[in-house]
Each structure stands twice: as structure tokens, then as C-alpha cells.
Amino acid sequence: MALEIDGLAVLCAIAEAPEAFPAIRSDVTKAAHALVTKQLKAKTLDLAGLRAVREALGPQPLALIVDGLKDAEVKALVTRLDKHHPDLKDGPAVAHRRHLMALAAALDPVAPPAAKPKPAKAPKAKPAAKAAPRIAPEPNKEPAKEPTEEPTEESARQPVAPASVAAVPDPAPAKARPPAGQAAPADALASAAMAARPPRRPRQQE
């Protein structure tokens, strides 16, 4: 079973003594470009990782590798690292590369917009108590009639005297006159004497 070699150590040795590997000079360049490109395309790359790559390679080699990337690849990378920049989505490819190199240097991404404060909900007003319905005044009613007694069979049978007859009192019985030739009673003589006397005059006060 073959043992795996330390690739980083081999690459460091090649870089320290390039004259020992003259036949692979062009392959080393292609390999270096492919390795750095793969690192920049990694989904786990964040802003700190980009700046670490720039610190290790230097600004010029990184700029050359970024220029070799496709426009869509640069746009995807820069919009992922600076999500809230207003001009990146519709900007040209040159602006995307320039902004990516600025982020790798020291530029901070655009901060997310502050959340809009939610308007405070006004307390719900309690429904007003319903007013008691006004009772319309009733029209003048006729006075209740007293119940009349219904005539019974006995009262219906009894004859009712007419009002004129019932109202007139019975005449007093006429006194019988004495027959002719007999003296009038004493009562008649007394009344005749009283009628013959003149009326008394009232006394004048002295």
C-alpha cells in the first residue's frame, strides 16, 4: 500500500527550488490557478477566508486569478459576501470584480437595513353601552268603560217602569169635604181666622 505524500510540502519544495523542476513550470502555474479558483468557489468561503487568501498570495496574484473567473462566478461570489449592497445585482462585471477586491482588502460589506418599527396598536375602544330604547308615548286612550251587568233572566222578566212615571211622586190623598149642612171642623175655622188677621208690623228699634 502506497503512502500518501504531503502535497503542501512538495509544493513548497518546488516553489523553493523551481530550477530543479524546469519541465513542470507551466503545469505548476495551471495547478496553482486551479487550486486558488477552487478555493474561491467554495461555498464555505466567507469574508475572513477571502482576506486570508489575499494575505497569503498578495493582492496582485489574487487579482489575476479573479480576472480569470467567469462573470457569473464573480457575481455569485461578491453578492454572497455583500448581500445587502444595492448596486451589485444590476451592476456590470467590472464593478463586481472591483468590489470583490475591495472586500478582500479592507472594505466592510453594507450593513443590513434596520428593521422598521412596528406601529403600536391602539387599544381597542370598548363598545359604548347601548342606550335604552325610548318608548314612544301612547296615544290618548279612551277611558275604560265600566262593565255593565248583563241582565239576568229574572230582571229581564220584571217590567221596567218608565222614567217619567217613576220620577213623579204620588199625589197626596185629597181630604174629603164635609157634606153640606155640617159645620166645618175646628182646623178649618182656625186656619180661616189666621188668614183674616192682618200681618204684624216689625218693631222699630229705638
Give pLDDT, residue 121.
Answer: 72
Is 14 a residue whose pLDDT tops 80?
Answer: yes
Question: Integer distance in angstroms from the first to the last C-alpha of the chain?
Answer: 184
As a whole number of angstroms, the distance between CA 79 and CA 103 comes to 11
Residue type, 41: K
Residue type, 91: G
pLDDT digits (tens, 9 = 90+) for 86-145: 888 888 999 999 999 999 998 999 888 877 777 767 677 666 666 556 666 665 555 555
Q: Which helix (H) or strand (E) holds 75?
A: helix 71-81
- Residue 53's closest CA among 68, 67, 37? 37
| Burial of 33: CB neighbours in 10 Å, binned 0-12, 13-18, 19+ | middle
Return the domain boundaries, the chain.
Answer: 26-105
Give pLDDT, residue 164.
Answer: 44
